[in-house]
Amino acid sequence: MLGKYVGQMVELVYMDRAGQITQRQIRINRIRGGMIRASDGKEGAPRTFLEQNILAWRPVTVQDRKGGMKHAERL
C-alpha cells in the first residue's frame, strides 16, 4: 500500500517492538519484504519499520508541514 509513496513524506502511527506507539513523519526510501527503509522527517536519520506494525498512515501535504493535521488512513 505504501509502495506508491516511495520518495515522498508520509506520517505514520507505529508500534515498536516494546509496544510503544509513536507518530512521526518519514520519507520512504525503499520497501522490500515487509520492511520499510526511511529517513526521519525531522532529523533525516535512517529508520527501519516493519510494515505489519504500522497502525495508520497518510501522505504529508505542504499544509501539514506548517502545523495543520488532518486524518490518518488505516491499513
Query: Model-level pTM?
Result: 0.77
Count of CB atoms within 10 A of residue 65's CB?
Answer: 11
What would the mean pLDDT of 6-28 be, rounded to a whole number?
95
Phi then psi for 59, rounded to 5 degrees? -70, 145
pLDDT confidence of residue 43: 83
Cell of 68: 495543520
Q: Is the pLDDT score of 48 beyond 90?
A: yes
Q: What would the grid cell of residue 27 be? A: 520519507
Q: Are 38 and 51 in contact (CB under 8 A)?
A: no
